[in-house]
Structure 1
Amino acid sequence: MDILENRAFKAAMFFDSLAPSFHSDIKQYEHANYNLKGSVKMTISNIKETINSDIYIVWETVLAVDKYSLWRSDLRKAETVNQNQFIEYTKDGYATTFTITAIEPYKRWEFDIENGSLKGHWIGIFTSKGNKTQIDFTENVIPKKWFIKPFIKFHLKKQQAQFILDLKKEIEA
């Protein structure tokens, strides 16, 4: 792509992003999530932490979705749809659907994430460190709405930090 084509492409993307009312579904928004080489621009957020508990307790607590509302301060409820899917509801009632894509007991848990604002993938790695557990959680998401793109990383970091804080309170108390 020569310089003029590149500038024209950027200008078209800019003006197109100013008119979201013309876009009625996510497929039409997705073009704004590609860079000039055609690769998807995902927002990635990672958190690593050590929990003062053995891997079995940490694993069982994190995977007990039906008990999330008992210890997670950011949720009103969580419900299991089937063995591969669950839904979390924020305190305001905003629903996020999670579809489990991989489970390696006491090692790895993965799922796809989707709600009205974003879609993506989450990977949780659990590593035993004696009587402690290292957790390594990574989220890769694509915003569905162009105007949340600047805020998505901050939002993910905030959610991850709150999850860890609540998890530590539940397990280490």
Structure 2
Amino acid sequence: MATSKVTVDFRCPVERVWRTVTDLAHTAWRSDLKRVEVLDETHFVEHSKNGYATGFTVTACEPPRYWVFTMENGNMSGSWKGIFEAAADGGTRLHCTETVNAKRWWMRPFVPGYLKRQQKRYLDDLRKELLK
């Protein structure tokens, strides 16, 4: 199991960061995704640009404070937790914790590096979107 914790600051209101992260109908800002399929209030599937599908189940949601979900595909299972804090200067501090378990033993050594790259890409994409 690999866990990555990242805290980033954005110079925009917490409501805007929350809306951007949780709006599954508008994910064109994500450079890794082809599309997101919303199944119901708590289930969605992300389809990567290379055609790989990952299922998600929202396990906790309190707008605009935190969003938590589990995820699973053929290679891994895990969870993601985002805590959104309004800063005194009107900005936002986002704390992300992601845990991933590889389903195949030979993949386990590669998971920490993969996880760090994925989180960096996601947060870079988010930063670019919020600067618009």
Same fold (TM over 0.5): yes
Determine the C-alpha separation between the residues in 2 that align with 1:151 and 1:86: 26
Determine the C-alpha separation between the residues in 2 that align with 1:114 and 1:97: 5
Give the secondary structure class of the aligned counterpart of 1:82.
Answer: coil
C-alpha displacement at 1:105, in angstroms?
1.1
Q: Within 5 A, what are the aligned runs for 1:120-139?
A: 120-130=78-88, 131-139=90-98
1:57 aligns with 2:25: no
Task: Name whichever structure is richer in helix by fraction.
Answer: 1
Q: Which runs of 4+ in 1 moved over 6 A?
A: none
1:148 aligns with 2:102: no
> Letter of the aligned partner of 1:51 in structure 2?
F
| Ranges in structure 1 where 5+ consecutive residues have no aligned partner | 1-41
The one-character-per-residue Cα deviations of 1:51-92 (angstroms, maximum 9, x if unpaired) are 111000000110001211x11011111111110011111110
1:81 aligns with 2:39: yes
Count of residue pairs brought into register by the alignment:
131
Which residue of structure 2 lines up, in the alignment, with residue 111 of structure 1? Answer: 69
Task: Name whichever structure is richer in strand by fraction.
Answer: 2
Q: TM-score, structure 1 length as denominator?
A: 0.74
| Ranges in structure 2 where 5+ consecutive residues have no aligned partner | none
- RMSD between superposed Cα atoms in Å: 0.9
Query: Whose Rg is larger?
Result: 1
Considering Cα pairs closer than 8 Å and 6+ residues apart, tell me whether 1 or 2 has the greater RCO. Answer: 2
Q: Within 5 A, what are the aligned runs for 1:16-35?
A: none
